[in-house]
């Protein structure tokens, strides 16, 4: 795997140990790492150059934040800039207006148009829409069959195209049928070539003129990295795309293509394909991809790994608490118990965005089982109220807790002290309480 950007920046700033603030020298060294990490994540060279320049300005203009080390500060700035560059918030599909809404799927051969058409229809149906799938790729043998089979699997109606028909006629006839049947959304799966092809572009432009789609989604294979950028540019010039579907993000592509396509075309990624199955498509969240590009971890992995152990809702709640420094002993105990099942605290922290650096600060987190048991014993002898409100724990309560678990007062003090420090660091790492811009990866 890649070394994460967080790791790299920590390495750089370690060399400058003792320097508690950002200055020209350490910022330049940090930016070098940012540049390399982005290039490795397959972000377009020009995009990287502009991006790094912007981050550099922000870093030097940054006030010194108490208790936050330079590496953390740079990571935070880079993260926020990435989210901004990726479009800030999630961009909604534009399917309001007159019915049926028309969505055209375009892109090179093999990028995932047919699969994504079916996946999107599936998503739309979950939102109580009535989708209609239209196979309009008459060139690739079995392409029509492929979409019709997927439609059948999903139980979603599809237009009955045949390979002898003309794609332009298919689109128009299907639209007429959709109107008659009162479908909400028409998804047209078009043909692709291995390379940009004038003839195909003309055909797509004709379909566009005839059916006036609300959305033209450019489907790009995330694994093709920078190549996807040139192709996106060309499709955008000729068809004026309205958004992007980034497929195959389940592979080890780091998402650099998302960043490059957005900055070059100005069009946002709206969906990501996360696997071959028809349920494996997600609405695009800029902060998740930013985290992935930075290698800051991906809470989805956490959710998956913990499987039944952690629900997504719970993870969200945990992040919210960390951000607000409301993380309490009850949460701490829950995480500890989970950790015993999943593996080390290390592996849990690595999966929570922004927590990699915390790990470095806390040092060796491979707490031996015996130590874990001691910590748990202390937490167990607290009252519910104390666990929920650690600030209640005064001297006399500490003494009672120590007696209750048969440990020394010093052990209780040590635990409370490291817990308080940890909580403060979590808050800083999550950018807690700094308004909406300062929002660190939402889980
Ligand atoms: P098209 O030529 O653009 O219509 O591409 P297809 O939809 O036929 O997809 C090409 C291949 O990519 C198929 O084998 C799909 O199963 C696969 N594919 C599409 N989307 C994804 C994805 O998000 N993840 C993975 N792993 N495979 C995908
Ligand atoms: Mg296809």
Ligand 1 centre to CA of 136 (Å) is 17
pLDDT at residue number 344: 55
Radius of gyration (C-alpha) of the chain in whole angstroms: 26
Nearest CA to ligand 1 atom 2: 110
Does the model's ipTM exceed the 0.95 cut? yes
In the prediction, which pLDDT does 263 show?
Answer: 86
Q: Tell me: pLDDT of 229 over 50.
A: yes
How high is the pLDDT of residue 394?
Answer: 94
* Binding site residue list for GTP: 107-114, 189-193, 247-250
Higher pLDDT: 372 or 16? It is: 372
Ligand in nearest proximity to the CA of 119:
1
- Given a cut of 70, whether residue 194 has pLDDT beyond it is yes
Q: Give the ligand at the shortest distance from the Cα of 112.
A: 1
Q: Which atom of ligand 1 is nearest to the CA of 105?
A: 3
Ligand 1 atom closest to residue 137's alpha carbon, by position in its atom list: 4
Q: How close is the Cα of 221 to the center of ligand 1, in Å?
A: 8
Domain 101-294 has CATH 3.30.70.1230: no
> What's the pLDDT tens digit per position in 29-45?
888 888 887 887 778 88
**Average confidence (pLDDT) over 328-349:** 68
Ligand 1 atom, smallest distance to 280 CA: 23
What size, in residues, is the chain?
443
Q: What is the mean pLDDT of residues 177-191?
A: 97
Ligand 1 midpoint to CA 229 (Å):
19
Judged against a pLDDT cut of 70, whether residue 278 lies above it is answered with yes
Query: Number of C-alpha atoms within 13 angstroms, CB side, residue 259?
Result: 34
Does the Cβ of 275 fall within 6 Å of ligand 1?
A: yes
Task: Give this prediction's pTM.
Answer: 0.67
CA of 222 to the centre of ligand 1 (A): 11
C-alpha torsion angle, residues 316, 322, 324, 325 (rounded to 10): 150
pLDDT in tens, 430-439: 654 443 333 3
Q: Which mutation among 276, 279, 283 tests ligand 1's pocket best, with the greatest number of atoms within 8 A of CB? A: 276
- In this predicted structure, what is the pLDDT of residue 200? 92
Give the residue from 286, 298, 255 showing the smallest Cα distance to 88.
Answer: 286
Give the closest ligand to the alpha carbon of residue 278. Answer: 1
Mean pLDDT computed over every residue of the chain? 81
Least confident interval from 90-99, 183-192, 195-204, 205-214: 90-99
**Span of 22-31, 43-52, 89-98, 298-307 with lowest mean pLDDT:** 298-307
Q: Is the pLDDT of residue 407 over 80?
A: yes
- pLDDT on residue 300: 35
Is the pLDDT score of 402 beyond 90?
A: yes
For residue 112, the CA-to-ligand 1 centroid distance in Å is 4
Ligand 1 binding pocket includes 88 (Cβ within 6 Å): no
Q: For residue 77, what pLDDT is reported? A: 80
According to the model, what pLDDT value does residue 410 have?
93
- 247 CA to centre of ligand 1 in angstroms: 7
Q: What is the best residue among 113, 115, 278 to mutate for testing ligand 1's pocket, by most ligand atoms within 8 Å of CB?
A: 115
CATH classification (class only), 5-85: mainly alpha
What pLDDT, on a 0 to 100 scale, did the predictor assign at position 340? 61
10 lines ligand 1 (CB under 6 A): no
pLDDT reading at 309 higher than 50: no
Positive or negative: CA dihedral 314, 320, 322, 328: negative
Nearest CA to ligand 1 atom 5: 112
The topology (CATH level 3) of 299-429 is 434 Repressor (Amino-terminal Domain) (1.10.260)
Q: Which ligand is nearest to the CA of 106?
A: 1
Give the rounded percent of residues in the chain with a pLDDT score beyond 90. Answer: 40
CB of 273 sitting under 6 A from ligand 1: yes
Asked if the model's pLDDT at residue 168 lies above 70, the reply is yes
Give the pLDDT confidence score for residue 331 in this predicted structure.
Answer: 83
42-75 residue pLDDT tens: 788 888 899 999 988 888 776 555 455 666 677 7
Domain ranges of the chain: 5-85, 101-294, 299-429
| Residue appearing with tokens 């390495």 | 11
**Same fold: 5-85 with 299-429:** no
CA gap 112, 393 in Å, rounded: 57
Cα(305) to centroid of ligand 2, in Å?
Answer: 33
Q: Is the CB of 119 under 6 A from ligand 1?
A: no
Neighbour tally for 348: CB within 10 Å: 22
Predicted confidence at residue 297, as pLDDT, reads 46
Residue 335 has pLDDT above 80, yes or no: no
Which atom of ligand 1 approaches the CA of 272 most closely? 23
Cα–ligand 1 centroid distance for 201 (angstroms): 21
At 241, list the tokens.
Answer: 């795309």
């Amino acid at each position: 795997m890649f070394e994460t950007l967080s790791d790299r920046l920590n390495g750089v700033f370690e060399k400058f140990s003792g320097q508690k603030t950002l200055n020209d020298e350490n910022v330049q060294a940090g930016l070098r790492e940012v540049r390399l990490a982005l290039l490795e994540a397959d972000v377009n060279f020009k995009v990287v150059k502009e991006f790094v320049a912007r981050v550099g300005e922000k870093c030097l203009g940054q006030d010194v934040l108490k208790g936050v080390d330079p590496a953390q500060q740079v990571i935070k700035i880079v993260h926020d800039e990435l989210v901004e560059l990726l479009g800030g918030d999630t961009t909604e599909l534009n399917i309001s207006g007159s019915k049926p809404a028309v969505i055209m799927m375009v892109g090179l051969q093999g990028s995932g148009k047919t699969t994504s058409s079916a996946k999107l229809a599936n998503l739309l149906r979950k939102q109580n829409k009535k989708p209609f799938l239209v196979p309009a790729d008459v060139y690739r043998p079995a392409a029509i069959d492929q979409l019709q089979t997927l439609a059948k699997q999903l139980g979603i109606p599809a237009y009955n195209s045949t390979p002898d028909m003309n794609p332009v006629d298919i689109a128009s006839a299907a639209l007429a049928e959709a109107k008659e049947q009162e479908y909400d959304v028409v998804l047209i799966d078009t043909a692709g070539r291995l390379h940009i092809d004038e003839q195909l572009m003309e055909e797509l432009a004709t379909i566009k003129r005839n059916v006036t789609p609300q959305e033209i989604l450019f489907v790009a294979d995330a694994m093709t990295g920078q190549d996807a950028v040139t192709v996106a540019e060309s499709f955008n010039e000729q068809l004026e795309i309205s958004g992007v579907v980034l497929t195959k993000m389940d592979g080890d592509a780091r998402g650099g293509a998302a960043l490059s396509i957005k900055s070059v075309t100005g069009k946002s990624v709206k969906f990501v394909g996360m696997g071959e199955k028809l349920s494996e498509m997600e609405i695009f969240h800029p902060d998740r991809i930013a985290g992935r590009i930075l290698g800051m971890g991906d809470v989805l992995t956490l959710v998956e790994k913990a499987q039944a152990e952690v629900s997504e809702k719970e993870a969200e709640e945990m992040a919210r608490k960390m951000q607000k420094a409301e993380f309490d002993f009850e949460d701490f105990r829950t995480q500890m118990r989970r950790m015993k099942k999943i593996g080390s605290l290390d592996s849990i922290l690595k999966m929570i965005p922004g927590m990699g650096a915390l790990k470095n600060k806390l040092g060796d987190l491979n707490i031996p089982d015996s130590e874990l048991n001691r910590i748990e014993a202390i937490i167990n002898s607290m009252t519910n109220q104390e666990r929920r409100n650690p600030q209640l724990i005064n001297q006399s309560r500490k003494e009672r807790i120590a007696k209750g678990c048969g440990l020394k007062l010093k052990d209780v003090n040590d635990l409370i002290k490291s817990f308080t420090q940890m909580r403060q660091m979590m808050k800083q790492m999550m950018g807690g309480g700094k308004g909406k811009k300062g929002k660190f990866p939402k889980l």
